[in-house]
Chain A
Amino acid sequence: MHYDTIVIGAGLAGLMAALARAERGERVLLLAKGHGTTHWTSGCIDLLDAGDDPLAAIGRLAAEQPEHPYALAGTVALEQGLERLRAACEAAGYPLAGSPGRNVRLPTALGALRPTCLLPATMVAGEARQLADGRPTLIAGFHELRDFFPPLIAANLRDQGLHAEAAYLGLPPVERSHEFGPMIFARLFERTDFRAAIGEQLATLVRRGGYARVGLPAVLGVRRATEVVRDLQARAGALVFEIPTLPTSVPGVRLFQALHDAFLAAGGRVQLGSFVLRGEGAAATLTVIISEAAAREQRHRALRFVLATGGVAGGGLRADHTGVLQETALGLPVRAPGGPSEWFAPRFLDEAGHPIFRAGIAVDDQLRPLDAAGRVAYHNVAVAGSAIAGCDPIREGCLEGVAIATGWKAGLL
């Protein structure tokens, strides 16, 4: 089949690029080996961990580091991409709050306060300034949900001078007796009987403790989270907010679904479970990409391609046994910080981060991949997201922002 554009990678960057191109009326295939990092991350949109105004900080960063993906994408792509994402979430009944000009801080599953920028409405009542209003907060969870410990979260919040207490909720009678992951809870919370039983317990706790708000693990529904939170608030008699959990991240799944649905509605096609093995082309033009399939390889043709396969963490870059970093899909040249001995800082949790996470593909201001000599490797390929060199997205707190800016830009070119 002949496509106008094939996007490789189904994370935030790939979804944004695919959506943008499909909405321009193109025939678009989104090809990926599996679900992307949306399913591991918080479901919030981090722009930059630098002061109160991320947008202004991004402007300064772009001036200082002209090869930073933010500098190459430009703020227009970032702002337009954020608007499109908001509209998609709004259409899914899952509005995002916040503004690109202001960072807020939200509690993590460890009770730390982490800066982010856009956040789902379901998390708003947990914003740090509200937690600091002197009124008590209850952090509640379930023994059955692993890796979410209300007493730990509350204790760490108290250490930061916030008034927080903890409680475990009893599990209402359900058909299951074990195996409660975040998605299982999320589906249970979409049931009225389940919410009624939880709401009752919360109301009792709120009455006794005089809590102004209740923080719960971010498992409050998959497709109807905003409604679930509203309903729980009414039942509990207090504000309710979600705290991101360890993977699988339900809020991340919601973002994925909102964009995936928008892409399908725009006529796009999705093919998961397909590793891209290599590409073929001539004269700096990529014509075919080849994916792994049962018994034979599958060939895909398109006029242009977007590579959004992620960096070291997302699996778009791999080190081979000789210590050379490879870009896994097209074999593009990788810009790496020296040899393996220079990839890591001495300490695991090093303040400055590990140099390896700045590895990636060097691109020009059209996001086209560059070879070692700085020439465009493929004229009809754009690289988006963490696959781009020159930025450590997790360390810099810009994972989603860079994905959206470069993904949307790849959709506009």
Chain B
Amino acid sequence: MDHIELSLTQSLDHCIKCNICTSACPVAAVTDKFPGPKYVGPQAQRFRRAGQPVPDDSVDYCSGCRVCNQVCPTGVRIAELNARARAQIVAERGLPLRNALIARSELIGRLSCGPHAPLVNFGLGFKPARWAVDKVLGIHQDAPLPRASRSSFRAWFARRRRSLDARSPGTPAQPSRQVVYFHGCATNYYEPEVGKAAVAVLERNGFEVILAEQNCCGLPLLSNGAFADARKLHEANVRKLLPYVRRGIPVVGTSTSCTLTLKEEAPELLGLSSEEVHAVAAGTYDIFEFLRDLADRDQLNTEFRPVERRLPYHPPCQLRAHRIGRPVLDILALVPGLRLDESRNECCGIAGTYGLKREKYQIGMDVGAGLFAFVRGSGSDLALCDSETCRWQITHGTGVRSKHPIEILAEAYG
């Protein structure tokens, strides 16, 4: 039993059976295929023993949104217990083909992104094709899949670097400070504009952005219970990022799920506790968290143009797990004219890859119903959310466009 396992096991004894978690769980609220966090977490855990079969499968209906962790008055780490329980099921029975596929976001992204992207997008927008994918693979035919980009973010960054170098040869810019940008799969293959905005914002704050070698953070594998594969990815990222972290260069990401995985999710769920893993975790920041730290030290560039807009904002579940409050609201409040209305709905329902699955698609849509009503009711033609899969789900559920808040901040810098 590693120390994390021990702390999870000990946290069982803190459960006072108050059911507050079950009352707040968005999945248990819409389906009784899922008996709720108290049962599958602290209660069922007592019956899970190494070498014995997993007592019940319903834990697979946990979306990992962590609302339970947030509301539990005694600090039971329910979502982590559930994630480990799912991994035990996968270890026993293997990963279904469908889950193995959707969990490999980097591979899918790499295959779809490029000059042939329009063709891929056409294929995935094609009803009969989606029907076949649904029937054969169990990916719901209506589930929101992203549109691949014709050119990756890294390719854009490299082109830009070359043209900057060509324009001012021999006089490399000498910003006093550097950051590593962790873009994640979604920005690289589907939404390069998020990365471009991040680079613009960081540069406006006097940072040189380094595009270190990196790979998928592994969260889709973790949340599908494929821990062995996730471990390889995380260890590779630690190897690639460690040299920068050692030099005191922070790793900043726009995807709240990637940054959460680097900070805590991978180390905790996989039981990795080496000094290197800790160093990378402690050196990783969500981009708005990073900007808020700058603001706290009076180092944030606040020369914003007014942005006269009022926009709905959904703080995603992974942000909740960072336990850092609402850095987007803190920073965007500094932009004159801009007003955000925070969604009070806990979850959009997609939970990474959860809402893509045929048997869970409707649960995801039911979980997200409150959020969709909030976004539609705002009358806005644009919604903000820091997490990519949540943005796609919001747009899918409402028809309203969605952006990463960093794109609005980049706009405000003009």
| Residues on A facing B (Cβ under 8 Å) | 1-2, 29, 33-37, 39-40, 175-179, 181-184, 187, 247-248, 253, 269, 271-275, 291-296, 298, 301, 314-315
The segment out of B21-29, B96-104, B227-235, B383-391 that lies at the interface is B21-29
CA distance A180 to B73 in the complex (A): 21
B264 at the interface (CB under 8 A from A): yes
Chain A neighbourhood of B28, CB < 8 A = 179, 184
B17 to chain A, nearest CB (A): 8
Whether A183 contacts B23 in the complex (CB less than 8 A), given A274-B323, A293-B323, comes out as: yes
Does B75 count as interface, using CB distance less than 8 angstroms? yes
A34-B263 contact, Cβ under 8 Å, with A39-B20, A247-B20, A273-B323: no
- Given A181-B36, A296-B282, answer yes or no on A291-B73 (Cβ-Cβ < 8 Å): no
Interface residues of B (CB under 8 A from A): 18-20, 22-24, 28-29, 31-32, 35-36, 66, 69-75, 260, 263-264, 281-282, 284, 292, 295-296, 320-326, 329-330
25 A-B interface contacts by CB (under 8 A): A2-B296, A29-B325, A33-B73, A33-B75, A34-B20, A34-B73, A35-B71, A39-B18, A39-B20, A40-B18, A175-B31, A178-B32, A178-B35, A179-B36, A182-B23, A247-B20, A248-B19, A248-B20, A248-B22, A269-B329, A271-B325, A274-B325, A293-B322, A293-B323, A294-B323
Can you name the residue of chain A whose Cβ is closest to the Cβ of B268?
A: A294
A292/B323 in contact, CB under 8 A = yes
Contact of A275 (CB < 8 Å), options: B75, B264, B322: B75
Q: 5 closest pairs, A vs B, by CB?
A: A295-B263, A273-B70, A183-B23, A294-B264, A293-B323
Chain B residues with Cβ under 8 A from A176's Cβ?
Answer: 31-32
CB pair A39–B23 under 8 Å, yes or no, is yes
Could you tell me the distance in whole angstroms from the C-beta of B172 to the nearest C-beta in chain A? Answer: 32
Task: Tell me the bound Cα distance from A40 to B284 in angstroms.
Answer: 38
Q: Determine how close the nearest CB of chain B comes to the CB of A240; give it in whole angstroms.
A: 23
**A177, A248, A273: the one within 8 Å of B69 (CB):** A273
The secondary-structure label for the interface of chain B is helix
Tell me whether A184 and B29 are in contact in the complex, defined as CB-CB below 8 angstroms, given that A253-B23, A295-B282 are known contacts: yes
Q: How far is the CB of A194 from chain B (nearest CB, A)?
A: 15
Inter-subunit contact A36/B325 (CB<8 Å)? no
Give the complex CA separation of A292 and B7 in angstroms: 15
Q: Inside 8 A of A315's CB, which chain B residues have their CB?
A: 73-74
Q: How far is the CA of A269 from the CA of B66 in the complex (A)?
A: 20
Q: Which residues of B contact A37 (CB under 8 A)?
A: 73
Most chain B Cβ neighbours within 10 Å, of A37, A175, A298: A298
Central interface residue in A247, A275, A295, by most chain B CB within 10 Å: A295
Q: Whole-angstrom distance between the alpha carbons of A33 and B322 in the complex?
A: 13
Could you tell me if A179 and B35 are in contact, using CB atoms closer than 8 angstroms? yes
What residues of chain A lie closer than 8 Å to B321, measured between beta carbons?
294
- What separation, in Å, do the CA atoms of A179 and B25 have in the docked complex? 13
Give the distance to chain B from A13, nearest Cβ to Cβ, in Å: 14
Q: Which chain A residues lie closer than 8 Å to B330 at the CB level? A: 1
Question: B292 to chain A: which residues have CB within 8 Å?
Answer: 1
> B24, B260, B284, B325: which contacts A269 (Cβ < 8 A)?
B325
Assembly CA distance A300 to B70 (angstroms) = 19
Q: Which residues of A contact B324 (CB under 8 A)?
A: 293-294, 298
Q: Give the interface centre of A36, A37, A39 by most chain B CB atoms within 10 Å.
A: A39
Q: How far is the CA of A293 from the CA of B98 in the complex (A)?
A: 33
Q: How far is the CA of A184 from the CA of B31 in the complex (A)?
A: 10
Bound-complex Cα distance A293 to B31 (A)? 31
Q: How far is the CA of A37 from the CA of B22 in the complex (A)?
A: 16
**A247 with B75, Cβ < 8 A, contacts A269-B325, A273-B320, A295-B284 known:** no
Give A181 to B129 CA distance when docked, in angstroms.
41
Complex formed: what's the CA distance from A29 to B326 in Å?
11
Interface centre among A35, A37, A175, A292 (most CB of B within 10 A): A35
CB distance from B314 to the nearest CB of A (A): 16
State whether A1 touches B296 (Cβ < 8 A). Answer: yes
Q: Which residue of B lies closest to A292 (CB)?
A: B323
In angstroms, Cα B19 to Cα A179, docked, is 12
**Residues in chain A near residue B260, CB distance under 8 A:** 294
Chain B nearest Cβ from A409, distance in angstroms: 24
Given contacts A248-B22, A293-B324, A295-B282, contact A177 B71 (CB under 8 A): no
Least Cβ–Cβ distance between A386 and chain B, in angstroms: 13
Across-interface contacts of A273 in B (CB, < 8 A):
66, 69-71, 320, 323
Closest beta carbon of chain B to A218's beta carbon, Å? 13
| Distance A402 CA – B332 CA, assembled complex (angstroms) | 39
